[in-house]
Amino acid sequence: MVRPTQLLHPPRTIAPLRPAATVLLLRDGPQGVEVLMTRRSMSASFAPGAYVFPGGGIDAADAQAFGVASRRPTQTDLRLTQAIAAIRESFEELGVLLARRADGRWANGDDIDALDRKAPFAPQCRARGLRLAADEVFVLAHWITDRDLSRRFDVPFLVARMPEGQEPVADESEQFEPIWVRPADALARHAEGRFFIIFPTIRTLERLQAHVTVDEVLKACAAHDEPLWTSCPRAGLIHGRESRHMEHEPPFGELALVCPDGQIVHPLDWQHEQPVPLLRQVQRLTAPNSGVMTGPGTNSYLVGDPGTGYIAIDPGPDEPEHIERLWRAVGADLRAIVCTHSHPDHSPGAKRLQQLCEKAGRPRPPVLGLASAPTARENSRFTPDRELADGERLVLRDAAGTTHTLMAVHTPGHAANHLCLVLLEDGLLFSGDHILNGSTTVIDPPDGNMAAYLDSLDRLAALCDTHGIDFILPAHGHVLGDLRRTPDNLSAPVEGGARRAIDQLKAHRLAREAKIARAMQLRPDGGLDDWVPLAYDDVPERLWPVARRSLLAHVERIRALGGFNL
């Protein structure tokens, strides 16, 4: 867990959550699924003027209306309460009544006209013999309002089929202009500036547009009776403008690390001119070597502060301006240079950085790491001044006793001499190329080994539990991870975001390996070029030459395990 003293921004009070419920009323249109949306009042305290799905806060009476509602066997009290609230809100705001008569038919216009939208809802339904169709309302998603907003809600996005024979009529107080719209059309109008919708609505419509029929949507939701996704987005700045991101999107972990309380201050743009502070004791400077294999460039990290001195991790390629910027950022007080492995986008800059220290009359910082193995390619030859032992600790300490301790962890797989580093006081994992953000690393035999790579993943997963690691700082891409689950961080994993990222990465690797094994079975007389199109059919063809390397590593592991019997 990151020390509070190392956070860049002062803590702020996050607004409390209010329980609410929203319902997407769906119908099958001539061109696919359509959803009912309405425009909120321009004077509304939350999302004024936005097009939304009907819904609102959960009342105490909603939890007391079970007797007038139908219920699925798998529907919990919480889900039933939420469904009742959504049914009530859709009636009060749009005059849509998700209720059935005693004979099983949907409530009709006479029933709707007989009910007062402003009077207590459940007693009116009971008096008229109507039963709320809560059993036909399913949970699609769980949204938790972003931490930066002053009004926050804990709200399920529910789905239900629009009752036959009913037409929406807005209350002209909270909601206006009911409209049936295809998700794709709503998104297109929003992009054109003609249909204002907020972030959770955008992301929900994006996922909804993948479904062809209402039955398909309801079947997907009914399968587990739990949200298909849960999210509490975070926001940063791209080109100076607010940009929001869900948990699975690359910038999310970095925002959770730098701005845990939801401050919208962190720039997410990739730039190479100056270091980006992530914590008081951690800076990232990205080398200007962007490309297919390096993404935005190689991340060089500086750990330490003016009182303790600094350790540089992965100085990157021998790019003079990049190395000069690293040197200036540490104020000439560089204690050590660590290379996670010997590849040419990671280690060559070490010597130049070392020489800058010597030219300035400063002590020569040692270059640390692991020597390249005989299997390394010619452009990846590397010999450190001293090899780091597995578990060895590098300690920076100031006069007041503040320490920053980096522990070396041998993690062969991507390269035979690969290592990672753990900043013990703050639960941070510097993963080199073993774990990346936005792509999976290439395992290129003979120096790369898939069995060793997977074993190293298991070791890093165990270290996450042992040392409370929540965040991974990769050599390419944004920070990965999330804070652990708390009342203010309900969408986070209980075990921490770093562990979940590693588990998902291993599952992805094993799923790919299963596809490769199937390809080998389909083409037993084939070779790598025959298996790549079958095993990587979800990857652009231009990347197949790169994928071919990792495929070879998987094939070696499959054969070592005894063929196809995985």
pLDDT in tens, 152-174: 999 999 999 999 999 999 888 87
Q: How far apart are CA 2 and CA 404, in angstroms?
A: 12
Q: What pLDDT, on the 0 to 100 scale, is given for residue 546?
A: 93
Residue 494 in tokens: 């209980």
């696919």: which residue's tokens? 32
Q: What pLDDT, on the 0 to 100 scale, is given for residue 173?
A: 80
Residue 475 in tokens: 């050599």
Q: How far apart are CA 22 and CA 54, in angstroms?
A: 6
Q: What pLDDT, on the 0 to 100 scale, is given for residue 78?
A: 96
Alpha-helix residue ranges (DSSP H) falling in 63-150: 77-94, 109-114, 121-127
Name the nearest CA neighbour of 254 among 428, 86, 101, 19: 428
Q: What pLDDT, on the 0 to 100 scale, is given for residue 40?
A: 87
| Crossing angle for the helix pair 450-467 and 497-522, to the nearest 10 degrees | 160
Q: How far apart are CA 242 and CA 267, in angstroms?
A: 9
Q: What pLDDT, on the 0 to 100 scale, is given for residue 492?
A: 65
């020489």: which residue's tokens? 355
For residue 337, the cross-strand partners are 312, 367
Q: How far apart are CA 141 and CA 366, in angstroms?
A: 52
Enumerate residues 6+ apart whose C-beta is below 8 A from 375.
Answer: 416, 446, 447
For the chain, domains (ranges, CATH) are 17-232 (3.90.79.10), 234-269 (no CATH), 276-486 (3.60.15.10)
Please state the pTM of the whole predicted model: 0.93
CA pseudo-torsion sign 133, 134, 140, 144? positive
In this prediction, the residues of the chain whose per-residue pLDDT falls under 50 are 565-566
Percentages helix, strand, coil for the chain (3-state, rounded to 5) are 30, 25, 45
Q: How far apart are CA 71 and CA 69, in angstroms?
A: 6
Asked if residue 517 lies in contact with residue 478, where contact means CB atoms within 8 angstroms, the answer is no
Q: What pLDDT, on the 0 to 100 scale, is given for residue 483?
A: 84
Asked if residue 74 lies in contact with residue 138, where contact means CB atoms within 8 angstroms, the answer is no
């790169």: which residue's tokens? 546
Q: What pLDDT, on the 0 to 100 scale, is given for residue 321?
A: 97
Instruction: Please name the helix (run of DSSP H) or strand (run of DSSP E) that holds residue 178, with its range, or none.
Output: strand 175-181
Q: Helix, strand or coil for residue 62?
A: helix
Rg (CA), the chain: 28
For strand 152-161 and strand 17-29, is the pairing parallel, antiparallel, or unpaired? Answer: parallel
| Burial readout 217-247 (b: 16 or more C-beta within 10 A, e: otherwise) | bbebbeeeeebbbbbbbbbbeeeeeebbbbb
Q: How far apart are CA 333 and CA 307, in angstroms?
A: 10
Q: Determine if the peptide bond prior to 446 is cis (ω within 30°).
A: yes
